[in-house]
């Protein structure tokens, strides 16, 4: 039957070719998902625990005007005017954004990371230029959104959106201003109605927080980011979900909260994580002094190691002593029999790779030009959260917990990598040809394994029924690095274990944040 | 007979591995098998580049060195009538880079099938002749090879449909041939769940832009010896440029201009047997007053050579008797 379909398709294509070709539309997993219709409204979310805000009233929201006020009626009329010539493009915009603000902004972030995740090309003298946040549009464009950079970016935006949203829910409960479609029953509504007070708008809070932080994190893409935010706000007006003052209050709140996160970001030590010539040399010399073989870059010309200081970046959930306490024991010594065996095992994996193994390597590779492993776990999580019909604020809470743990995984893993400075398998056996690019940093422990171990633990806590599925995915992601020839088994096994422990911190927080 | 330029293979070694889908040869030349004549053989191709165009920026890559694509193609053609031939072929392809750590790929690539029809065969006089052809082609991967690992992938994994029109003019033994082809390429699926081209897709499916190809060639076509020079232009209709220092992607806009030359020789004593050899060189179009024409982009600056041996015979004795030997139509 399947074959028959295939042949008929081919036949149909031949026919259609004469008429101008088959449809080449591609299926996108989230292009046509329904509007958000939460099973639980989470109206009490105003009392959940924030990450950075001192309290949910740190950034006060002014009382709204009454729905009987002529200004308010004018704002409802703005909706009616906008809906008067409702085009199919506008309907598409409403449909797109109604799927959920946190989801869509997470997708936009994944896109920005993919676009900017490209290693700079070398200078003529064999050195490499570093992207500069003060001159972001000059080549190399800022940032190089590699996995640690991306993990941190996803985490800040997710946490800021969460903190801003719970503050918004707090004020929604206090002011209890009805949605415009409840204030004026003649209003045409393009999305499912709910009982949540609409001031300040949760969509505007999410967009406001994202825009403010993304200005800092992806400065070269500001025009694009602003355009998406504008579309988002326009969709809220067109749909009849919010009046202008709902949006303005929401954006102001989101922006204020994000500014507090931006201030933290400027002082979290990520800015100096790239190191300099002296610190790179020190890493190598320290390793030699310990009697070990130091890592070297496989790129030509040799590229400085990626973000060697990232292990010192300030986490939200784990203090610096906690990061050191999570550091596992050393990898097998380079000259040991154990390491020779591990290297031989990697060689055997790449010698005659099966098609299925290559598929696994490429499924999880998430290398240059992609949204990175943290982005991949966000995509996996989003696909599951879509099925759960979560409220906007629970979307934000879950995404914040996930991205906090991915950020922690980056910090802890990078600390371990530069503490041991262990060579990649190909350095010990040049016959090891890899099925994906060798990442430009030391081998022990595997970043993919740490990210995946942490993400699977947190997602397993949030969705217990799927815990085993996530654990199996993490296991496959971890092994993909051995199949690809870029990690020893020990890197991956230890990485998964460390990742799981990192996930424990976010799980502890989840148990006490007031949302369970 | 099997003399041609393999425009596809000339581009092999273009980053574009699929171009090495040595298209069943004879769909690009003005030569037909006689009725009930069967010809088949092997063709080895070697294509290498150490520079490529990233968008329109010509660069090298010290982490790749020289990228080499080799292939062995088996193909066969049969004359249903003197004016209608069918042909099919499939290559085994393997890739390798001289520098860097990435693993080469190997495997059976796409099967292609073509049907070639000569609709007009008009002799103006004893010396000059014009023939017009219509050719329909189809190709599809024979196995689920790795697509998304350029420039190491052995092909682009797309099922294609090609329509081609060709005109051939011959004066005494000198000829010139011009053809144009339009190739429709089906979408492909990657091993990874999502990808970014110019924006993010929550999908493993990639929309493949279609391709147009043109070739002009001229030379000598005798009974035993054929020698020709050619200019081939491949243009991808849509697609996007490789971004700075990024890896190539299957739906890049791969454009290439290739000059080539080739010979075919049929043994006088054993007209069953013939040998062919081709060379091709990808160049960056023509520059006139700072404007480029026929510019190459997102492909390797490849040099390709190929050589093959083919064997022809008649499946029916009566048909054999009607012809002097196993050479192609004159």
pLDDT, tens digit, for every residue of A44-77? 999 999 999 999 999 999 999 999 999 999 999 9
Would you say A477 and A449 are in contact if contact means Cβ atoms under 8 Å apart? yes
State how far the Cα of B277 lies from the Cα of B261, in Å rounded to an integer. Answer: 9
Angle of helix A147-175 relative to helix A372-388, nearest 10 degrees, comes to 30
Which candidate from A24, A300, A433 shows the least CB-CB separation from B102?
A: A433
Is A432 within 8 Å of chain B by CB?
Answer: yes
- The tokens describing B169, both together, are 């003019």
Distance from the first to the final alpha carbon of chain B:
10
pLDDT score for B6? 32
Does A27 contact B243 at a Cβ distance shorter than 8 Å? no
For chain B, list residues whose CB is within 8 angstroms of any CB belonging to chain A. 62-63, 99-104, 138, 144-146, 148-149, 159, 161, 163, 184, 186-187, 190-196, 199-203, 205-208, 210, 243-247
Q: What Cα–Cα distance (Å) separates residue B202 from each residue in A278, A383, A416, A427, B189?
A: 42, 10, 33, 36, 12
Is A359 within 8 Å of chain B by CB?
Answer: yes
In order, the DSSP letters of A33-68 are PPPP--SS--TTGGGSPPSS-SSTTSS--PPPPPTT
* CA A414 to centroid of chain Cα atoms: 18
| Average pLDDT, rounded, for chain A | 95
- The tokens describing B306, both together, are 């190929």
DSSP summary character for residue A404: H
Distance from the first to the final alpha carbon of chain A:
48
Is A220 within 8 Å of chain B by CB?
Answer: no
SS3 B225: strand
Which candidate from B138, B200, B205 shows the least CB-CB separation from A107?
A: B200
Is A300 within 8 Å of chain B by CB?
Answer: yes
pLDDT score for B10? 33
| Segment holding B75, helix H or strand E | strand B67-81
Q: Rounded to 5 degrees, what angle do the CA atoms A130, A136, A142 make?
A: 50
Instruction: List the single residue in B with minimal CA-CA distance to A114.
Output: B196
Would you say B233 and B293 are in contact if contact means Cβ atoms under 8 Å apart? no
Give the strand pairing for B225-237 and B256-266. Answer: antiparallel
- The tokens describing B207, both together, are 């929309």
SS3 B212: strand
- In the predicted model, what is the mean pLDDT of residues A94-101? 98
Q: Which residues of B touch A28 (CB under 8 A)?
A: 201-203
Q: Which residues of B touch A120 (CB under 8 A)?
A: 245
State how far the Cα of B280 lies from the Cα of B271, in Å rounded to an integer. Answer: 27
- β-bridge mates for residue B69, sequence order: B47, B95
- Predicted TM-score (pTM) of the model is 0.94
Does A379 contact B191 at a Cβ distance shorter than 8 Å? no
In order, the DSSP letters of A246-277 are HHHHHHHHHHHHHHHHHHHHHTSSGGGTT--H
- The tokens describing B14, both together, are 């273009």
Interface test with B, best of A26, A32, A218, A374 (most B CBs within 10 A): A26
Is A110 within 8 Å of chain B by CB?
Answer: yes
Question: Could you tell me which of B207, B208, B215, B211 has the C-alpha nearest to residue B237?
Answer: B211
State how far the Cα of A325 lies from the Cα of A332, in Å rounded to an integer. Answer: 20
Each residue's pLDDT, cut to its tens digit, for chain B (330 residues) gives 333 333 333 333 333 333 333 333 467 888 899 999 999 999 999 999 999 999 999 999 999 999 999 999 999 999 999 999 999 999 999 999 999 999 999 999 999 999 999 999 999 999 999 999 999 999 999 999 999 999 999 999 999 999 999 999 999 999 999 999 999 999 999 999 999 999 999 999 999 999 999 999 999 999 999 999 999 999 999 999 999 999 999 999 999 999 999 999 999 999 999 999 999 999 998 888 888 889 999 999 999 999 999 999 999 887 777 777 777 765
SS3 A182: helix
Does A362 contact B99 at a Cβ distance shorter than 8 Å? no
Which candidate from B192, B205, B244 shows the least CB-CB separation from A26?
A: B205
CB count, 10 Å around CB of A468?
11
Does A22 contact B202 at a Cβ distance shorter than 8 Å? no
Would you say A432 and A350 are in contact if contact means Cβ atoms under 8 Å apart? yes
CB count, 10 Å around CB of A392?
25
Question: Could you tell me which of B30, B20, B36, B161 has the C-alpha nearest to residue B92?
Answer: B20
Does A26 contact B63 at a Cβ distance shorter than 8 Å? no
Give the model confidence (pLDDT) of A195-233 as tens digits.
999 999 999 999 999 999 999 999 999 999 999 999 999
By 3-state DSSP, what share of chain A in percent is helix, strand and coil, each rounded to 5? Answer: 60, 0, 40
Question: Could you tell me which of B223, B221, B185 has the C-alpha nearest to residue B206?
Answer: B185
- The nearest CA of chain A is from the CA of B261 a distance in Å of 33
Q: Rounded to 5 degrees, what angle do the CA atoms A279, A281, A285 make?
A: 115
pLDDT score for B1? 32
Which candidate from B63, B99, B192 shows the least CB-CB separation from A363?
A: B192
The values of phi and psi at residue B59, to 5°, are: -150, 165
DSSP summary character for residue B73: E
SS3 A327: coil
Which residue is listed with tokens 């201003």? A177
Of A338-347, A358-367, B261-270, give the lowest mean pLDDT range. B261-270
Does A298 contact B101 at a Cβ distance shorter than 8 Å? yes
**Contacts across the A-B interface (CB distance below 8 Å):** 112
State how far the Cα of B303 lies from the Cα of B307, in Å rounded to an integer. Answer: 14
- The nearest CA of chain A is from the CA of B280 a distance in Å of 30
Which candidate from B184, B200, B202 shows the least CB-CB separation from A17?
A: B184
Torsion, Cα of A100, A104, A107, A112 (10° steps): -160
Would you say B174 and A27 are in contact if contact means Cβ atoms under 8 Å apart? no
Is A21 within 8 Å of chain B by CB?
Answer: yes
Cis peptide before A434 (omega within 30 of 0): no
Is A427 within 8 Å of chain B by CB?
Answer: no
Which candidate from A26, A371, A437 shows the least CB-CB separation from B203?
A: A26
- The tokens describing A326, both together, are 């999570």
Torsion, Cα of A70, A76, A80, A86 (10° steps): 150
Question: Could you tell me which of B230, B258, B184 has the C-alpha nearest to residue B13?
Answer: B258
Q: What Cα–Cα distance (Å) separates residue A63 from each residue in A153, A287, A411?
A: 33, 61, 41
Which candidate from A111, A350, A358 shows the least CB-CB separation from B200?
A: A111
Would you say A195 and A91 are in contact if contact means Cβ atoms under 8 Å apart? no
Does A26 contact B161 at a Cβ distance shorter than 8 Å? no
Q: What percent of chain A has pLDDT over 70?
A: 96
SS3 B315: coil
Q: Which residues of A touch B192 (CB under 8 A)?
A: 362-363, 365-366, 370
Is A350 within 8 Å of chain B by CB?
Answer: yes
Does B191 contact A17 at a Cβ distance shorter than 8 Å? no
State how far the Cα of A119 lies from the Cα of A146, in Å rounded to an integer. Answer: 8
CB count, 10 Å around CB of A11?
10
- β-bridge mates for residue B91, sequence order: B73
Judge whether residue A3 has pLDDT over 90: no
Which candidate from B101, B138, B191 shows the least CB-CB separation from A363?
A: B191
Give the model confidence (pLDDT) of A112-164 as tens digits.
999 999 999 999 999 999 999 999 999 999 999 999 999 999 999 999 999 99
Q: Residues near A235 by Cβ (< 8 Å), separated by ≥ 6? A: A90, A93, A94, A96, A97, A98
Q: How many CA atoms lie within 13 A of A195 on its CB side?
A: 6
Is A101 within 8 Å of chain B by CB?
Answer: no
pLDDT range class, residue A8, cuts 50, 70, 90: low
Q: Rounded to 5 degrees, what angle do the CA atoms A483, A484, A485 make?
A: 90
- In the predicted model, what is the mean pLDDT of residues A300-322? 98
pLDDT range class, residue A4, cuts 50, 70, 90: low
SS3 B289: coil
Give the model confidence (pLDDT) of A156-204 as tens digits.
999 999 999 999 999 999 999 999 999 999 999 999 999 999 999 999 9
Would you say A477 and B192 are in contact if contact means Cβ atoms under 8 Å apart? no
Q: Which residues of A touch B247 (CB under 8 A)?
A: 368-369
Instruction: List the single residue in A with minimal CA-CA distance to B136.
Output: A14
Indicate the length of chain B as a whole number: 330
Angle of helix A244-266 relative to helix A147-175, nearest 10 degrees, comes to 140
Q: Which residues of B touch A485 (CB under 8 A)?
A: 103
CB count, 10 Å around CB of A130?
12
Q: Which residues of A touch B99 (CB under 8 A)?
A: 300
Would you say A327 and A415 are in contact if contact means Cβ atoms under 8 Å apart? yes
State how far the Cα of B316 lies from the Cα of B304, in Å rounded to an integer. Answer: 38
SS3 A227: helix
Is ipTM beyond 0.90?
yes
Instruction: List the single residue in A with minimal CA-CA distance to B159.
Output: A10
Q: Which residues of B touch A355 (CB under 8 A)?
A: 144-146
Is A298 within 8 Å of chain B by CB?
Answer: yes
Instruction: List the single residue in A with minimal CA-CA distance to B148.
Output: A362
Which candidate from A115, A353, A362 shows the least CB-CB separation from B191?
A: A362
Q: What Cα–Cα distance (Å) separates residue B190 from each residue in A3, A480, B195, B305?
A: 21, 16, 9, 31
Does A28 contact B201 at a Cβ distance shorter than 8 Å? yes
Indicate the length of chain A as a whole number: 516
- The nearest CA of chain A is from the CA of B247 a distance in Å of 8
Give the strand pairing for B174-185 and B160-171. Answer: antiparallel
């Amino acid at each position: 039957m399947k074959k028959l379909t295939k042949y008929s398709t081919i036949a149909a294509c031949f026919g259609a070719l004469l008429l101008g070709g088959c449809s080449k539309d591609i299926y996108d997993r989230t292009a046509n998902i329904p509007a958000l219709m939460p099973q639980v409204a989470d109206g009490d979310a105003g009392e959940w625990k924030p990450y950075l805000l001192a309290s949910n009233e740190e950034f006060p929201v002014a009382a709204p005007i009454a729905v009987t006020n002529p200004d308010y009626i004018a704002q409802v009329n703005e909706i009616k005017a906008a809906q008067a010539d409702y085009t199919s493009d506008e309907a598409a915009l409403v449909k797109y954004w109604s799927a959920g603000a946190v989801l869509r902004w997470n997708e936009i972030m994944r896109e920005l990371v993919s676009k900017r995740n490209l290693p700079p090309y070398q200078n003529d003298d064999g050195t490499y230029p570093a992207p500069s946040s003060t001159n972001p549009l000059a080549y190399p464009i800022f940032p190089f959104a590699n996995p640690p950079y991306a993990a941190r970016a996803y985490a800040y935006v997710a946490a800021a959106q969460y903190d801003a949203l719970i503050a918004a829910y707090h004020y929604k409960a206090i002011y209890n201003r009805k949605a415009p479609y409840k204030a004026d029953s003649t209003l045409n509504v393009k999305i499912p109605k709910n009982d949540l007070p609409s001031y300040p708008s949760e969509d505007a809070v999410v967009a406001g927080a994202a825009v403010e932080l993304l200005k800092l994190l992806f400065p070269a893409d500001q025009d694009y980011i602003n355009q998406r935010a504008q579309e988002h706000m326009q969709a809220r007006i067109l749909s009849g979900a919010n009046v202008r003052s709902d949006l303005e209050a929401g954006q102001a709140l989101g922006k204020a909260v994000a500014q507090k996160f931006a201030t933290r970001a400027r002082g979290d030590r990520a800015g100096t994580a790239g190191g300099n010539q002296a610190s790179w040399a020190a890493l190598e010399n320290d390793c030699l002094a310990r009697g070990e073989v130091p890592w070297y870059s496989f790129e030509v010309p040799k590229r400085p190691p990626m973000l060697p200081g990232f292990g010192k970046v300030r986490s939200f959930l784990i203090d610096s002593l906690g990061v050191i306490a999570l550091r596992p024991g050393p990898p097998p010594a380079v000259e040991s029999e154990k390491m020779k065996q591990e290297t031989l095992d990697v060689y055997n994996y790449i010698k005659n790779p099966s098609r299925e193994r290559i598929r696994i390597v490429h499924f999880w590779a998430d290398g240059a030009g992609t949204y990175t492993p943290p982005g991949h776990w966000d995509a996996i999580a989003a696909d599951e959260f879509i099925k759960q019909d979560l409220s906007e604020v629970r979307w934000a809470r879950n995404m914040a917990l996930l991205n906090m743990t991915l950020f922690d995984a980056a910090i802890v893993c990078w600390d371990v990598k530069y503490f041991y400075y262990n060579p990649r398998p190909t350095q010990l056996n040049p016959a090891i040809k890899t099925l994906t690019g060798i990442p430009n940093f030391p081998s022990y422990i595997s970043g993919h394994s740490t990210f995946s171990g942490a993400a699977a633990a947190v997602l397993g806590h949030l969705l217990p029924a799927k815990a085993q599925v996530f654990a199996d995915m993490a296991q496959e992601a971890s092994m993909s690095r051995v199949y690809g020839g870029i990690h020893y088994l020990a890197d991956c096994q230890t990485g998964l274990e460390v990742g799981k422990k990192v996930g424990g911190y976010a799980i502890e927080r989840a148990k006490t944040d007031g949302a369970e | 007979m099997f003399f041609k330029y393999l425009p596809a293979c000339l581009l092999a070694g273009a980053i574009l591995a699929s171009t090495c889908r040595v298209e069943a040869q004879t769909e690009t030349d003005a030569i037909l098998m006689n009725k009930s004549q069967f010809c088949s053989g092997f063709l080895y191709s070697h294509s290498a580049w150490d520079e490529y165009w990233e968008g329109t920026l010509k660069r090298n890559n010290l982490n790749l060195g020289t990228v080499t694509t080799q292939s062995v193609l088996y193909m066969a053609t049969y004359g249903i009538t003197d004016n209608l031939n069918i042909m099919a072929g499939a290559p085994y392809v393997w890739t390798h880079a001289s520098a860097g750590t990435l693993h080469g790929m190997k495997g059976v690539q796409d099967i292609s099938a073509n049907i070639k029809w000569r609709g007009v065969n008009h002799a103006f006089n004893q010396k000059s002749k014009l023939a017009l052809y219509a050719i329909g082609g189809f190709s599809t991967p024979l196995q689920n090879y790795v697509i998304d690992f350029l420039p190491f992938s052995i092909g682009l994994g797309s099922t294609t449909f090609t329509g081609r029109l060709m005109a051939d003019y011959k004066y005494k033994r000198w000829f010139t041939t011009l053809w144009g082809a339009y190739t429709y390429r089906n979408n492909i699926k990657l091993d990874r769940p999502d990808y970014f081209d110019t924006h993010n897709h929550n999908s493993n499916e990639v929309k493949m832009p279609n391709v147009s190809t043109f070739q002009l060639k001229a030379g000598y076509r005798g009974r035993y010896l054929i020698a020709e020079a050619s200019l081939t232009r491949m243009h991808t209709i849509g697609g996007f440029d490789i971004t700075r220092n990024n890896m190539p992607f299957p739906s890049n806009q791969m454009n290439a201009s290739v000059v080539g030359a080739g010979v075919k020789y049929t043994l006088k004593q054993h007209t069953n047997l013939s040998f062919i050899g081709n060379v091709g060189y990808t160049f960056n179009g023509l520059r006139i007053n700072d404007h480029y024409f026929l510019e190459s982009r997102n492909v390797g600056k490849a040099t390709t050579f190929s050589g093959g041996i083919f064997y022809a015979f008649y499946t029916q004795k009566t048909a054999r008797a009607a012809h002097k030997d196993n050479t192609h139509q004159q």
